[in-house]
Every structure is written in structure tokens, then in C-alpha cells.
Amino acid sequence: MKAIDIINKKNNNEKLSYEEIEYMVNSYVKERISDDTMSDFVWSIYYKGLSLDETYYLTDVMIKSGETIDLSHINKPVVDKHSTGGVGDKITLIVAPIAASAGVCVPKMSGRGLGLTGGTADKLESIKGYKLKMSKQAFLKELDEVGCSVISQSEKIAVADKKIYALRNEIGAVDSIPLIASSIMSKKIASGSDVIIIDLKVGKGAFMKNIKDATHLAKTMVKIGAYYNKKVICTLSDMNAPLGRNIGNALEVKEAIDFFKGNYDKRLYDLSVYLSSLMISSAKKISFRSAKELVINLLESGHARNKFNAWIKYQGGNLSKIRDKAKKLNVVSQTSGYVNKIDSLKLSKLVFDLGAGRVKKKDNIDYAVGVVLNKTLGDKVNKGDVLATVYYNKKLPDMKEALTNCYLIEKKKAKIKKIIIKTIK
């Protein structure tokens, strides 16, 4: 086989065989073909697409490029949860302990943030002492004893995906549905769970900008899961506005702590309850209604909060010591009215510029910086009210203006859309 022949074949809209995709992926992993050649192959997929069978082939090859985790010995229902990333997305910190407190095992391997969206690993690392790296044996022991564990992604799982994803990020070939689907599903299937819940963000602050493309991606992932006898459920959630009130690594951990104390943003609460109910109902094979009643009880009784504390403590974290040292700047409203929009993309760019994000995986970030929204969607605002507080360690020349420009305040209150768009099974 020759790489150029395979690339030309895809460029001519011809269907690739399993062996051809396997040759390209494995040759790249073993450094038998260059970054430039693999870039040409990735771009051919980006522009010409892949059939469902070809997407499955790519997923399977990436799974087989590394190790897989066997969770069959765990004597509890197991569910994995994945988010495609969004602005202020601290959902894993909330739903994992809720589901675990219901007797469901939640194994989670999380990556670091790249670009404008933060990674769960970064948020957890803002807690002093939290250990992201654990041996497979320690990871499985925690799942057995606590019920949930969140560690950094293993370098040995879906090895090909890590290398190809880094290349895609470098050349800008990120928003391709078959490439996204195979990337997500190779890691999820290799991680061993039979039930996989995916929170697929849609809107300005997400990879998927519109419902049509997000639906296509969701259906593709559900079908890939079926190849492996995995139950995959995708919930499309709105990311035109940020999730919750806090954006920034340490700030989002603080919002999760407040959540379990009963202080929460409505949109964050609605999505957290919905996803954790979906996780519990699917894993325990009970009705969604029964699962939701259980979730609300676990939150109100404090059991979910206790599980959150136990999980963080087990992995060495100290919730009284968070890397949150930063200066504060209050930004006040110059007008009165109602908050009808908060531009999540503009907001994420501001937080990124403050130092909360990275371009490359090895870049250092500032865990403490970010924004806390004092006024959010639907809130009434009077002139002079504090709209938000910027947490910074390096002062940007235009951060007050940048924050103000994220808000649309109008005299008439607009209808706020529900955060949950639809669920695809």
C-alpha cells in the first residue's frame, strides 16, 4: 500500500477499506509517514467525509492502537459520561458524585483544555493535592470503594487518537463530524463502560454550532456504540450562553462546592439533574422519573455532597485549599433592563486571554483567573448594578469593555430557552 494512493482514493470520493484506514493510522503512529502526509489524509476526510462504515473502521483502529480497560468485575452498574466541552462546563464535578451516591459506578478519564474550552483535569488540578495520575489498580480500587473517580487520560488508551487529535488541532481540522465521532468513541469504548452518556453542547460556545450538525454527530456516535453493543445516549444542550455563573478553573470548582450546598444557577441545576437522572436510569434500568426523584432526594439530603467530598479527599484534594489567588475587578452596568443574551464565545475569549486556557497541551495556565456572573440570563439589571466580577493576575487593557460587550441588556424581557434541546438514543 501507498499513502498517496489512499489519499487520492478518498479525494476521488471512493470508499476506503478497513485495511487502508488501518495502514494510514498505524503508519502514522509508528512514524512511517510524516505529519505532512497525515495532514493530507486528515484534510481529505475533512472535505470528503467518511461513510458510517469508514467511521467505524477508523474508530476500531484507534481503539486497537492502545490498551482497553476491563470493568466487568465491578459489582455495580457502570456508566461513563462525556461532554464535548463548553464555557463554564463543570458538569462532571456535579453529576459523577450524584450518580455514585445512587450506587452507580462512574469511571472518568478527563483531558486538559485546549483552546477556549476548559478541561475537567484543569479544574480538578486547581484543588491543592488532587492526584490526577493513578495506577490502573488504584483507579479500580477507588471505583469499588467510592463509586467515582476522575483521572487524567491514560497515555496508553487510544494512542492513535491522541496523536491524530494533536495534529488536527494544529492544522485546524477539528470540526469534522466523522473525526469528532471516532475520537470520542474510541476513548469511550476503550475505557470499558457499557453505558455512555454524552452531553453534546450546541451553540456559539461549542464545537457544534447548530442543531442539524449536532444531531448528525449524535446519531453517528449512537450507531458506533451499537457496533460494540454499547448503549450510547446523547443529550444536546444549549451553549449559546455559559453554563452556570462561574467561568475559570478554580472558580468552577467553587461553583460546584456551592451547588452541593444548595446554591445554584437554574440552567446548571436543570442540566445536572437531567444528566445524572439519565445516567442512573440507564445504568440501573429504572424509569427516568424514578431516577429524577432519587437525584433530587440525594441532593436535598446531603448524600450527593458527602460523596463529592469523599471523592475529592480520596484523590488527595483539599477543598479548603484552592488555587484561587487573584485580583478582582467589578464591572457595572451602564443601562437598565433585562439580560437577554450572554455571548459565551466572547466570554470564553476573555477568560482565555486572562490566562485560563492554553494553545498547546504543555502550556501553563492560571487556575485562579476567570469571570463570575453576578447577573445572568433573565435577570433584571439597574444602571450601576455589578454585572460581573473579573478575576485576573495580568491586567488586560480592555477587559472591562470586553466583559460589557458579552451582555445584551434590553428593556423588554426575552423568553429564555430551555438548556436541554433534545435527547437522541
CA-closest candidate to residue 424, choices 224, 152, 240: 224
Nearest to 394 by CA among 348, 351, 333, 362: 351
Cell triple for residue 258?
456551592
Task: Report the sign of the C-alpha dihedral through residues 296, 370, 330, 343, in that order.
Answer: negative
The reply to whether 122 belongs to the active site is no
Extended strands (E) in 216-319: 231-238, 246-247
H helices of 153-265, in order, are 159-171, 177-190, 211-227, 249-260
DSSP label at residue 285: T
Q: Do residues 209 and 96 make contact, with C-beta atoms less than 8 angstroms apart?
A: no
Is there a catalytic annotation at residue 238? no
Q: Which of 82, 201, 267, 307 is catalytic?
A: 82
d(CA 128, CA 371): 21
In the set 101, 183, 272, 348, the catalytic residue is 183
Output the CA torsion sign for 338, 344, 349, 354.
positive
Catalytic residue, chosen from 108, 168, 188, 307, is 168
SS3 assignment, position 284: helix
* 379 Ramachandran zone, left/alpha/beta (phi>0; psi -120 to 50): beta
Name residue, grid cell 498505524: 26
Q: Quick one: cell of 16?
A: 476506503
The identity of residue 420, as a single letter, is I
Which residues make beta-bridge pairs with 234?
198, 424
Exactly one of 10, 187, 188, 375 is catalytic; name it. 187
Instruction: For residues 227 and 221, give the distance between their C-alpha atoms in angstroms, rounded to a whole number.
Output: 10
The question of whether 187 is a catalytic residue gets the answer yes
Which residues, 6 or more positions from 42, have their beta carbon under 8 angstroms from its beta carbon?
164, 167, 168, 171, 173, 179
Q: Which residues are catalytic?
A: 82, 161, 168, 183, 187
